[in-house]
Amino acid sequence: MSRTEEISTDVKAVSTAVDEARTRAEETLEYARGQIELSYEHGWDGVAQSISMAGEALEKISAEFDSAQTGFENATSTLDEINEQMSTTEVAEHLTLALSELEATQNVLEAAVALVDEAVQGAEQADHNALTSRLSGLREDIESLFERLARSRTDTEGEHEQAENMGEEKRQEDDSKNREQDKDENTDNDGKKRENGSSPGN
C-alpha cells in the first residue's frame, strides 16, 4: 500500500467515526426533545425553553456532519485517483485539492464543537446534568475526530511537499539536459563551419 493509499484509508476511517458521532448527536437530540416535552407537561416552561436551546444546536450539528461527510468523500475520491502513471505535477495538483477538502472539513468540525458548546449552555441553564453529560461526551467525540483529521491533513501536506520537491528536481534535471544538448549542438555547428573554411565569427 502506497503512502497516499494509507492516508486515504485513514481519512475513510475518520469518515466512519463521523457517522458514529452523528448517531450519538441524533440520539442526544431525541433525548433532549423528550425532556422538553416532559418539562412542558410539568409546567416547567423555563426549563423546557433552555433545553430547546440545546435541541436547536443539536439540529444544526447534524447539518454540519452532513457537510463533513461530503468533504471526506471528496478528499478520499481525489486521493484514490492518484496512480503511478501520473506526473509529479498531477500528483501535487490532486493533493492540493484533497488538502482543500480536508481544511474545509476541519472548519466544519470546529463549527460543530461551537454548536455543542451552545447546547451545553442551554443544558446548564436548565440545570440538566444528564443532558450536559451526554453533550460533553459528544464534544469529546468531535474533538477526537478533529485531531485525527489534523494528522491526516499533516500527512497529506507532507506528501504534497515531497511531490513538489520531486517535480522541481525533475525540472532542474530536464533544464540541465537541455542546456547540455544545446551546448553539444552549438559545438557541432561550430565544427561544421570550420570544416567549410569559415570562422565562427563570419
Kindly list the domain boundaries of the chain, sorted by start residue.
Answer: 3-184
pLDDT in tens, 20-79: 999 999 999 999 999 999 999 999 999 999 999 999 999 999 889 999 999 999 999 999
Cα angle 179, 180, 181 (rounded to 5 degrees) comes to 90
pTM equals 0.78
Task: Tell me the average pLDDT of the chain.
Answer: 87
Asked if residue 5 has pLDDT above 70, the reply is yes
Asked if residue 120 has pLDDT above 60, the reply is yes
Closest CA to 78 of 170, 11, 148: 11
pLDDT tier for residue 202 given thresholds of 50, 70 and 90: very low
DSSP-H helix ranges across the chain: 3-41, 45-80, 88-125, 129-195
Asked if residue 157 has pLDDT above 80, the reply is yes
The SS3 of residue 86 is coil
CATH architecture type of domain 3-184: Up-down Bundle (1.20)
- CA pair distance 53, 91, nearest whole angstrom: 46
| Span 131-150, average pLDDT | 95
Q: Which three cell numbers mark 40?
A: 412542558
